[in-house]
Amino acid sequence: MSAAASSRKRKSDAENGAASKKARAGGAHASAVALVDAVLADREDYPIPEDDDAILESLVSLAEYARSLEEQWAGALQAPSAAAPPRKSKEELEAAAEKIRKAAQSGIKKQMTWKPTCKTKRAKWAYDGVCPDPAVFGVLLQLGGPPKFKMKKIPVDEFEKCIGPCEGHARYNELSISGTDVNVRWSESGEFKFSGTYGI
């Protein structure tokens, strides 16, 4: 086979392959996608058209395709901030914190049952919860903003100002949180834990 015939064959194969890929790709830049595929598939022997207009048309098509990709990439980079959930109002934060407060207070009270260690105020309690929004957790514990700690001790009187009084009754005795502090653990995943001791 002559070199000219071989060149014509390569050009014909490339055009046929490009046409089929163009049909599959679809979209506004299908011809540019097909051209990219064809060139990359035959890097060393891809036939360059002799017609200047054809070359210019290919370059313009590739340039438009490149610009389109740039714009798509720029849009993707901005998407996370655009898709961020709107900030809750003060009322919404307080309402969400109130739900967690009630659940925590109820959960702690239910654990205040009689144990021999109640006599020495060493009976243990622990409440695990989930609060996906750090701002809500900050409002719950009156932190003045989202928590900046993983573990913190809060004085019992301050804790009960936030959660409400936690009291139980057993064997004619009143049970309440004992000790000086309540342990608070916070995770960035939104999980939290309150723990401490109680007794008569």
**Is the pLDDT score of 149 beyond 70?**
yes
Percent of the chain beyond pLDDT 90? 48
Phi, psi (deg, nearest 5) at residue 141: -100, 10
In this structure, of 74-78, 89-93, 120-124, 148-152, the range with the lowest mean pLDDT score is 74-78
Instruction: Please name every residue paired with 177 in a beta bridge, in sequence order, or none if there are none.
Output: 198
**Is the pLDDT score of 82 beyond 80?**
no
pLDDT of residue 170: 79
| CA quadruple 152, 109, 105, 137: dihedral, nearest 10 | 30
Do the beta carbons of residue 58 and residue 36 sit within 8 Å? no
Average pLDDT over residues 136-158: 94
**Is the pLDDT score of 152 beyond 80?**
yes
**Is the pLDDT score of 154 beyond 50?**
yes
- Structure confidence by residue, pLDDT tens digits, 23-54: 444 467 787 787 777 777 777 777 888 888 87
pLDDT of residue 19: 46
pLDDT of residue 79: 56
CA distance 97 to 162: 10
- Structure confidence by residue, pLDDT tens digits, 172-181: 889 999 999 9
pLDDT of residue 7: 47
Tell me which residue of 177, 133, 145 sits closest to 159, measured CA to CA.
177
Average pLDDT over residues 94-119: 93
Do the beta carbons of residue 184 and residue 193 sit within 8 Å? yes
Buried/exposed code over 160-171 (b: 16+ C-beta within 10 A; e: otherwise)? bebbeebebeee
Pairwise pLDDT comparison (48 vs 185), residue with the higher score: 185
Mean residue pLDDT across the chain: 81
CA distance 6 to 8: 5
